[in-house]
Amino acid sequence: MTTIADLHLLPVPNQPDRVFAEGEAPSGAFLFSLLQATPDCIKVIEADGTISFMNQNGLDAMGIGDVAEMRGVPWSSFWPEASRETVDAAVGAARQGQRARFEGPCQAAGGALRRWEVSVSPIAEADGRVVRVLAVSRDVTERAEHLLRIEEQEALLAASAARLRRRLGDREDELREKDVALREVDHRVKNSLAMVSAILHAQARSAPAAAEALATAASRVRAVAEVHGAIYAADRAERIEMRDYLRTLAEALSRSLAGGDVKVEHAICERTLTGGEALALGLIVSELIANALRHAFAKHRGTVRVGCEPAGTGRTVLTVEDDGAGFPQGFDLRRAEGLGSKVVLSYAAKLGAEVETGAAEGGGARVRVVF
Q: Residue length, the chain?
A: 371
User: What distances in angstroms separate CA 315 from CA 247, 270, 351, one per listed residue?
Assistant: 19, 12, 11
Phi, psi (deg, nearest 5) at residue 308: -155, 160
Domain 4-140: CATH superfamily is: PAS domain (3.30.450.20)
Write down the pLDDT at residue 332.
87
Contact partners, residue 164, CB within 8 Å, separation at least 6 = none
Write down the pLDDT at residue 17.
40
DSSP tag of 50: B
Rounded to an integer, the average pLDDT of 72-97 is: 92
Rounded to an integer, the average pLDDT of 326-349 is: 85
The whole model's pTM is what?
Answer: 0.47
CB 32 within 8 A of CB 78: no
Residue 235: pLDDT band by 50, 70, 90 thresholds? low
Phi, psi (deg, nearest 5) at residue 294: -80, -35
Q: Is the model more confident about 39 or about 76?
A: 76
Write down the pLDDT at residue 355.
92
CB 289 within 8 A of CB 264: yes
Write down the pLDDT at residue 18.
42
Region of residue 300 (left: phi > 0; alpha: psi -120 to 50; beta: else): beta
Map residue 201 onto helix, strand or coil: helix
Q: Residues spanned by CATH 3.30.565.10 within the chain? A: 239-370
Q: What CATH number has the domain spanning 239-370?
A: 3.30.565.10
CB atoms within 10 A of CB 239: 14
pLDDT at 364 over 80: yes
Query: For the CA atoms of 205, 211, 217, 223, what is the dihedral angle to 10 degrees?
Result: 60
Amino acid identity of 184?
E
Write down the pLDDT at residue 21.
45
Q: Which of 8-12, 228-232, 258-262, 315-319 has the lowest mean pLDDT?
A: 8-12
Write down the pLDDT at residue 367.
93
Range of 75-89, 107-121, 198-212, 216-230 with top mean pLDDT: 75-89
Write down the pLDDT at residue 188.
62
pLDDT-above-90 percentage for the chain: 20
pLDDT at 102 over 90: yes
Detail the DSSP E strand segments found in the chain.
41-45, 51-54, 100-107, 113-124, 130-139, 239-241, 262-267, 272-274, 302-312, 315-322, 354-359, 365-370
Q: Residues spanned by CATH 3.30.450.20 within the chain? A: 4-140
Rounded to an integer, the average pLDDT of 348-354 is: 91
Rounded to an integer, the average pLDDT of 316-327 is: 89
CA distance 241 to 269: 10
- 250-284, pLDDT tens digit by residue? 887 777 766 667 788 888 888 888 878 888 888 88
Q: Is the model more confident about 143 or about 176?
A: 143
